[in-house]
Amino acid sequence: MTVIKRKMTQVRPFFKLRTAKAKDVKYIRKLIYGLIYNESIEFYLRIIVSKFFFVFIIAFILKLIHLHSGITIFDVIFTIIVVVYLIRSLFFLFHPFYSPVNWKKYKLIESDRGLIVGCTAIDYYKHCSILGNLYVKKAWRKRGLGSALLKFSIKKIDRPIYLVSKKKNINFYKRNGFILVSWEDLPSTVKASFKIYQPHPRLWGYPLCFMQYKGHNTVAFTYEI
Ligand SMILES: CC(C)(COP(=O)(O)OP(=O)(O)OC[C@H]1O[C@@H](n2cnc3c(N)ncnc32)[C@H](O)[C@@H]1OP(=O)(O)O)[C@@H](O)C(=O)NCCC(=O)NCCS
């Protein structure tokens, strides 16, 4: 009997860029978990702690006013406020687990084995659009996939595109045709949508930048898609 030995050749992974479908919801949700709990957890905790701090200061002042009077109505009110705030914070922190995913606004990058490795979402407004939730799984980064997904997602957008970025990603976006914009120069719709990201003391040490697409693509690397 003759045995035919086949030489295995390494196949370069093939990626597909596409618009999301309803069946992708559970994969998109997983990517959102990755984005929030691996990349943005500090941001979420800062928001929660800064608000909690405010509640705590008010309660402390109230307690100082009624220092010698056992349990007062203020203590009861304070306890209620803290409990309500804690519950709200938990909902805020775990919102990716229960809030519905609007899959229609997502673009995806998928490997040849059907593995969805990255996503981004676009919100359309009357005079502008906002690109958000850009995320590529850690193991698949630095191969041009993020840039390819970005390019694919914005190529048909017919109105100004804005985004908010962590400082460490600024070069990535600049390479892909975005420029920095100050908070003051953002359109009011974008400001309203970015309210939570606006310059604020709670974000000291966690600077966020606002960027607008200018269409001049300077990406200098290539990767087969
Ligand atoms: C930001 C993010 C989407 C980029 O995805 P990515 O697939 O790594 O993007 P790319 O591979 O196109 O580019 C990333 C870097 O790799 C480099 N690169 C790309 N292809 C390369 C290659 N073949 N060889 C070497 N380097 C390469 C690029 O030059 C780029 O460098 P830069 O960041 O200095 O510009 C990804 O890092 C991510 O998901 N981060 C966490 C989530 C996040 O921060 N999202 C954005 C919210 S602001």
What tens digit of pLDDT does each residue of 128-185 get? 999 999 999 999 999 999 999 999 999 989 999 999 999 999 999 999 999 999 999 9
Q: Is the pLDDT of residue 12 over 70?
A: no
* Shared domain check, 139 and 191: yes
The position carrying tokens 């069946």 is 23
For residue 72, the enclosing domain spans: 23-98
Output the pLDDT for position 216.
54
Please state the domain count of the chain: 2
Q: Which atom of ligand 1 is nearest to the CA of 120?
A: 3
Q: Which of 172, 175, 178 to mutate to test the pocket of ligand 1 (most atoms within 8 A of CB)?
A: 172
Q: Is the pLDDT of residue 19 over 80?
A: yes
What element of type H or E holds 206?
none
Q: Which of 166, 206, 221 to mutate to test the pocket of ligand 1 (most atoms within 8 A of CB)?
A: 221
- Note whether 123 and 129 are within 8 A (CB): yes
Tell me which of 98, 125, 160 is where a domain ends: 98
197 Cβ closer than 6 Å to some ligand 1 atom = no
- Residue 94 within a domain: yes
Give the C-alpha separation, 23 to 195, whole Å. Answer: 32
Output the pLDDT for position 78.
77
Average pLDDT, the chain: 86
Output the pLDDT for position 18.
96
Alpha-carbon distances of 156 from 46, 53, 122, 125, 153, rounded to whole Å: 36, 44, 11, 15, 7
* Shared domain check, 51 and 152: no
> pLDDT band at residue 59, thresholds of 50, 70 and 90?
confident
Output the pLDDT for position 55.
74
